[in-house]
């Protein structure tokens, strides 16, 4: 176990050192990401500026959904974005080297890329999330803080599972399936709003198949004590769905990996 962790940290360290050789580029990339996501957030602010609320949700309440969705997604990008390159590695035959090394292939793929520019998105999401908590004031409790951390854990696991599934399918068909970007890149954009605004079929899909609602919406409902929308206990249970989704995704990856055929190169 310690050997696996040390290898993972070494891979991350090597990636960070290589990027920091061009400090100005890293700074500009982080700043660019930070500003880009503020421009997207401006659209949400304008929406509430004109209409006041969204299906009964105020701006500060939606900021909690926004923060949970984008923080969870960014954490998954740091952890497992390397799975996005599985199709390329399989097609070129480079995945052979991963299988020959005495280290878990999941760890190797997780450490494939640690892009520092993602700190721009992470910082922006933290600012928005913090602003939401400040605006809510006395509605924030110690129990609520624990619930939010649990929600972030489940959300990060869910997005990790989506990336692992994307990589697994890419490994099988030798190319990335762009439809997955609807769930990975588009997932936070959807989850940043309360699920109650979407049609019933979409709510069912993103509750029981891809549990986006379970890792953002229902925990937010419980945190904000909006008992009219759902029983508050659901928000404490539903993030486990994200962890279960990631576990299933890992099983799928292992099954696909067992069927890997080398290019012979």
Q: What pLDDT is stored for residue 223 in this prediction?
A: 94
pLDDT in tens, 138-158: 888 999 999 999 999 999 999
Q: What pLDDT is stored for residue 146 in this prediction?
A: 95
Q: Bridge-partner residues for 54, per DSSP?
A: 57
| Nearest residue to 119 (alpha-carbon basis) of 4, 198, 262, 19 | 19
Q: What pLDDT is stored for residue 11 in this prediction?
A: 81
Residue 91 above 60 pLDDT?
yes
Q: The whole model's pTM is what?
A: 0.91
pLDDT in tens, 21-58: 888 888 888 888 888 888 878 888 888 888 888 888 99
Tokens of 233: 């206990």
Number of separate helices (H) and strands (E) present in the chain:
15, 0
| Higher-scoring residue by pLDDT: 236, 177 | 236
Domain count, the chain: 1
Tokens of 26: 């890293």
Q: What pLDDT is stored for residue 1 in this prediction?
A: 64
- Domain extent, residue 242, equals 2-258
- Domain membership flag for residue 160: yes
Residue 17 above 80 pLDDT?
yes
Cβ burial, residue 39 (10 Å; 0-12/13-18/19+): exposed
Residue 131 above 60 pLDDT?
yes
**DSSP structure string for 26-70:** HHHHHHHHHHHHHHHHHHHHHHHHHHS-BTTB-HHHHHHHHHHHH
- Domain membership flag for residue 173: yes
Neighbours of 233 (CB within 10 A): 10
- Domain membership flag for residue 199: yes
CA distance 245 to 126: 25
Average of pLDDT values for 235-257?
94
pLDDT in tens, 207-219: 898 899 999 999 9
- Domain membership flag for residue 263: no
> Which residues lie below 8 Å from residue 117, measured CB to CB, with a gap of 6+?
26, 29, 30, 32, 33
Kindly state the percentage of the chain with pLDDT values over 70. 98
Neighbours of 232 (CB within 10 A): 16
Q: What pLDDT is stored for residue 181 in this prediction?
A: 77
- Domain membership flag for residue 96: yes
CA distance 43 to 153: 27
- Domain membership flag for residue 222: yes
Over the chain, what is the mean pLDDT?
Answer: 87
């Amino acid at each position: 176990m310690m050997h696996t962790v040390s290898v993972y940290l070494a891979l991350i360290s090597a990636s960070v050192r290589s990027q920091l050789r061009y400090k100005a580029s890293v700074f500009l990339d982080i700043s660019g990401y930070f500003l880009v996501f503020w421009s997207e957030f401006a659209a949400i602010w304008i929406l509430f500026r004109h209409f006041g609320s969204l299906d009964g949700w105020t701006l500060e309440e939606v900021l909690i959904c926004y923060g949970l969705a984008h923080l969870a997604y960014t954490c998954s990008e740091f952890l497992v974005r390397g799975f996005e390159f599985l199709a390329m590695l399989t097609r070129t035959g480079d995945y052979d080297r991963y299988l020959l090394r005495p280290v878990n292939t999941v760890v190797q793929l997780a450490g494939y890329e640690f892009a520092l520019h993602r700190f721009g998105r992470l910082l922006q999401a933290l600012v928005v999330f913090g602003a939401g908590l400040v605006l809510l004031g006395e509605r924030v409790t110690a129990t609520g803080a624990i619930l939010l951390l649990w929600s972030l854990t489940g959300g990060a696991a869910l997005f990790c599972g989506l990336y692992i599934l994307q990589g697994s399918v890419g490994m099988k068909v030798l190319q990335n399936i762009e439809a997955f970007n609807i769930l990975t890149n588009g997932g936070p954009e959807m989850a940043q709003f309360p699920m109650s605004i979407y049609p019933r079929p979409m709510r069912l899909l993103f509750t029981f198949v891809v549990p986006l609602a379970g890792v953002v919406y229902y925990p937010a409902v419980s945190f904000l004590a909006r008992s009219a929308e759902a029983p508050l206990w659901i928000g404490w249970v539903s993030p486990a769905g994200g962890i279960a989704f990631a576990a299933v995704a890992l099983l799928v990856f292992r099954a696909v990996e067992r069927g890997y055929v080398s290019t012979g190169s």
